[in-house]
Amino acid sequence: MKVLHADMKKGEMKILIQSREDCWHLYNIIEEGDIFSAFTFRSKEKATDKIRSKKGEKEKVYLKVRVTGKEFQEFTDRLRIRGVIIEGEETGAYHTFNIDPPMEIKIEKEWKDYHLKRIEEAIRIHPKFAILAMDDEEATIAVVHEYGVEEVAHIFSHRSGKNYEEKYDEKEYYGQILKKIQERSLPLAIVGPGFEKEKFISFAKGKID
């Protein structure tokens, strides 16, 4: 998150939303009754009879709304802010903004200390990281966000059952884990019982080197 302009006397702040984590912070800052402004897409209407044009025909407009609701869906890029248009086309109508980083927005509100602390927190860089929890039977990879932990992969070694030795392939198991980790390119913490994690680390170093 980046603050582009702030005028606390007027209660105005222009912000650049840069990431999914920023959407989470914005969700916790925006409140009902706040004034929210940004560029958005809206279906065209004829000025005379208000008949909507063909489905899918939208234009980019700058709207200002008084916020009536908000919705944040974890582990997606989706934050929605809904309000009544108070400036721009179709004043009095409802509109929903889909916040899609990177996106420049403007907020007008009564800023409390906890709002400003949230802004300060969002400005700091908080890199995501992944966790690999594994043993000789299964492995789980999760990404740690500021708003929660997202499981992104679950891998089985098939090292179980009466004929497990015929089915189990250690290199294939480790290879599947390494492939999923490389897809994310994040700092990684590895946890698990026994020596399985050390064996995997040795395998991964051999492949990377």
Residue 158 pLDDT:
82
What's the CA dihedral at 123, 124, 125, 126 to 10 degrees? -110
pLDDT score for 75: 64
Number of neighbouring beta carbons within 10 Å of residue 196 = 19
CA distance 14 to 77: 20
Residue that is written with structure tokens 């008084």 in the block: 66
Nearest-angstrom CA–CA distance, 5 and 60: 23
Q: Whole-model pTM?
A: 0.68
State the average pLDDT over residues 128-145: 92
pLDDT, average across residues 146-171: 76
Mean of the per-residue pLDDT values of the chain = 88
Domains of the chain and CATH, by start = 2-123 (2.30.30.870), 129-208 (3.30.420.60)
Read off the pLDDT of each residue in 1-26 and give the average, rounded to a whole number. 94
CA distance 61 to 43: 10
Return the exposure string of 71-98: e unless at least 16 CB atoms fall within 10 Å of the residue's CB, then b: ebeeeeeebebbbebeebeeeeeebebe
User: pLDDT for 44-88, tens place per residue?
Assistant: 765 444 555 455 578 999 999 999 999 998 766 689 999 999 987
Question: What is the structure's pLDDT at 61?
Answer: 93
